[in-house]
């Protein structure tokens, strides 16, 4: 069982100041507390070259609150970083001293290259397939950086294309705004060379994902891993323009985008240009970025370890839960070998096999399905989330049905695999009484069109009528005949 510690990251941006406290254990870290204040430090930077006076006052008040929270929770491991606004402003160095005094800790002002590197590390923590280019849009700047961390990787690039830096463009014709963005990004050496994915980091682009989900009726509601195409961005751009004369549409978009509404059109134009210049079909929206990159500088970057540790941390699994989940995976290996699924995803799903045990039995299937589906788990795309959620729900009932509004998001073959895995976990659970040690007294085998359940002779009393029924159900799903053997050893 992992013992979590709390660690904090304070991120001082051009538009917002944010405190995120994470629980960290092993290779996992999950948000425990997240607070954002839209201080607007960089609001006047383009016109005055200095930080906003009101923004500084608001930020300093915020820092005092952040400090009090950290002290009250006894958090000793904290990082404070600042980005473009403080880096570019004439009064940035002076305000840095004020900020450090209010926070009671050292504040590190990141260079553009450092900011890009941190975001790239965040991507490696959030995506299994992380090769490509990170585009991190803040209030003032756009940072481009390769996710490659080797010495020969191309340097990052910084462009003053944040919504605050381009606030004066708001009254320009749409074509003129596109021209300004294209002219700036035409200088990029990274975009034409990109041979991988494009990852969109930053609140403005997460907001675009939420807006497109609203406009398109996408029901999953998880921004991490959401794909934004140029067609999707075209829909958002069209809606943003129409909202100028349509009060009902404007209210609808503002309800979803909240304080990001004013930056929505600009963010969509920038991302549309990036997708075009990078030669990709879509951008992957990321909930992982700079703050997570700060944490993983010295953390375990192995994606399988992070996924398994995150599963254990999020579901608060006990030592018995973990032991059972690990043994369950070994017990089910002859079944899992027939499924066309990622091994780490199936290992994590087996760890979740007991996650719904304490839930009310009348609602357990629906509750655990929703919890697994929307958990803040990295390294799982949306179809993999649905696979794991459907499997864990099927672990509690053979008749679980996927909600109709989610059916288009996953292949039928993946659902078939998930039902097999869920039914197999159900067999392992009912045979063993959820005991890891008891599970070692039996094994599954595939043999000549049969699914064999081999049980030690001295444990034959463990084979109840329910165990036989679960064995039959699993064999039927696998198009095999069930066979029960009592053996001297397994």
Q: Is the pLDDT of residue 225 over 80?
A: yes
Residues 262 and 393 reside in one and the same domain: no
The answer to whether position 322 is within a domain reads: yes
C-alpha to C-alpha distance for 207 and 460, rounded to whole angstroms: 57
256, 151: one domain: yes
What mean pLDDT do residues 257-261 have? 91
Sign of CA dihedral 469, 475, 479, 481: negative
Residues in the chain: 490
pLDDT beyond 70 at 299: no
Determine if residue 311 is left, alpha or beta; phi over 0 gives left, psi from -120 to 50 gives alpha, anything else beta: alpha
Mean pLDDT of the chain: 94
What is residue 113's predicted lDDT score, i.e. its pLDDT?
Answer: 86
Rounded to a whole number, what is the largest CA-CA distance in the chain? Answer: 83
pLDDT at 234: 98
Separation between Cα atoms, residue 220 and residue 212, nearest integer Å: 12
At 46 the pLDDT is 87
Provide, rounded to the nearest whole percent, the portion of the chain with pLDDT above 90: 88
Per-residue pLDDT band at 153 (split at 50, 70, 90): confident
**What CATH number did the domain enclosing 414 receive?**
1.10.3210.10
pLDDT at 134: 96
Range 285-294 average pLDDT: 95
The last residue of a domain, from among 236, 262, 293: 293
DSSP H helical ranges for 164-289 = 174-185, 190-193, 203-216, 230-242, 247-257, 264-278
Say if pTM beats, i.e. exceeds, 0.75: yes
C-alpha neighbours within 13 Å on the C-beta side of residue 269: 28
Claim to verify: residue 339 and residue 475 sit in the same structural domain: yes
Task: Report yes or no on 298 lying in a domain.
Answer: no
* Pair 125, 254 in one domain: yes
Strand runs labelled E in 384-430: none
Nearest of 415, 401, 475 to residue 445 by alpha carbon: 475
Do residues 119 and 265 share a domain?
yes
At 301 the pLDDT is 67
Average confidence (pLDDT) over 466-488 = 97
Domain stops at, among 249, 266, 293? 293
Three-state SS at 198: strand
> Domain containing 221 — which CATH number?
3.30.420.150
Task: Reply yes or no on whether the pLDDT at 298 is more than 70.
Answer: no
pLDDT at 2: 72
- 28 and 135 part of one domain: no
Helix, strand or coil, per DSSP, at residue 116: helix
The answer on pLDDT for 174 being more than 70 is yes
**Model pLDDT, residue 334:** 97
In a domain, 465, yes or no: yes
Range of the domain at 25: 5-109
With 80 as the cut, is the pLDDT of residue 151 above it? no
Phi first, then psi: give them for residue 468, nearest 5 degrees: -60, -40
Q: Domain end: 293, 318, 342, which one?
A: 293
Q: What is the pLDDT of residues 414-435, one digit of tens each?
A: 999 999 999 999 999 999 999 9
- Give yes or no: residues 9 and 78 share one domain: yes
**In which element (H, E) is residue 137 found?**
strand 132-137
For residue 474, is it within any domain? yes
What is the dihedral sign for C-alpha 382, 386, 387, 388?
positive
> Total domain count for the chain?
3
């Amino acid at each position: 069982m992992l013992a979590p510690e709390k660690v904090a990251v304070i991120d001082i941006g051009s538009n917002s100041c944010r405190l995120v406290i994470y629980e960290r254990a092993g290779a996992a870290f999950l948000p425990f507390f997240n607070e954002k204040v839209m201080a607007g430090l960089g609001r006047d930077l383009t016109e005055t070259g200095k930080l906003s006076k009101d923004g500084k006052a608001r930020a300093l008040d915020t820092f005092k609150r952040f400090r009090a929270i950290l002290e009250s929770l006894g958090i000793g491991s904290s990082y404070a970083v600042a980005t473009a606004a403080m880096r570019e402003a004439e009064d940035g160095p002076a305000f840095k001293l004020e900020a450090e005094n209010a926070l009671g800790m050292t504040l590190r002002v990141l260079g553009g290259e450092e900011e890009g590197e941190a975001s790239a590390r965040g991507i490696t923590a959030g995506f299994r397939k992380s090769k490509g280019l990170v585009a991190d849009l803040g209030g003032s700047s756009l940072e481009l950086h390769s996710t490659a961390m080797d010495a020969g990787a191309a340097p990052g690039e910084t462009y003053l294309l944040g919504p605050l830096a381009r606030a004066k463009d708001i009254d320009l014709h749409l074509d003129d705004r596109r021209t300004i963005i294209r002219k700036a990004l035409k200088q990029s050496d990274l975009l034409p060379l990109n041979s991988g994915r494009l990852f969109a980091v930053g609140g403005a682009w997460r907001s675009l994902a939420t807006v497109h989900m609203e406009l398109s009726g996408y029901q999953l509601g998880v921004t991490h891993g959401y794909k934004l195409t140029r067609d999707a961005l075209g829909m958002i751009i069209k809606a943003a323009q129409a909202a100028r004369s349509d009060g009902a549409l404007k209210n609808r978009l503002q309800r979803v985008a909240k304080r990001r509404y004013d930056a929505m059109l600009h963010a969509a134009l920038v991302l549309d240009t990036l997708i075009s210049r990078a030669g990709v079909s879509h951008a992957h929206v990321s909930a992982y970025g700079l703050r997570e990159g700060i944490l993983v500088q010295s953390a375990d970057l192995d994606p399988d370890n992070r996924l398994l540790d995150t599963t254990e941390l999020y579901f608060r699994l006990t030592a018995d839960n973990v032991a059972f989940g690990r043994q369950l995976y070994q017990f089910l290996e002859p079944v899992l070998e027939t499924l066309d699924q990622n091994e780490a995803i199936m290992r994590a799903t087996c760890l979740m096999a007991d996650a719904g045990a304490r839930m009310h039995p009348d609602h357990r299937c629906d509750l655990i399905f929703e919890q697994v589906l929307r958990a803040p788990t990295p390294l799982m795309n949306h179809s993999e989330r649905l696979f794991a959620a459907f499997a864990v729900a099927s672990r509690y009932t053979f008749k679980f049905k996927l909600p109709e509004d989610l059916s288009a998001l996953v292949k039928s073959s993946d659902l078939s695999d998930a039902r097999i895995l869920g039914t197999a976990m159900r067999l392992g659970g009912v045979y063993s009484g959820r005991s890891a040690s008891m599970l070692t007294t039996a094994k599954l085998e595939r043999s000549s069109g049969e699914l064999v359940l081999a049980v030690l002779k001295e444990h034959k009393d463990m084979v109840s009528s329910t165990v036989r029924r679960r064995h039959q159900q699993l064999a039927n799903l696998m198009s095999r005949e069930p066979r029960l053997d009592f053996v001297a050893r397994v």
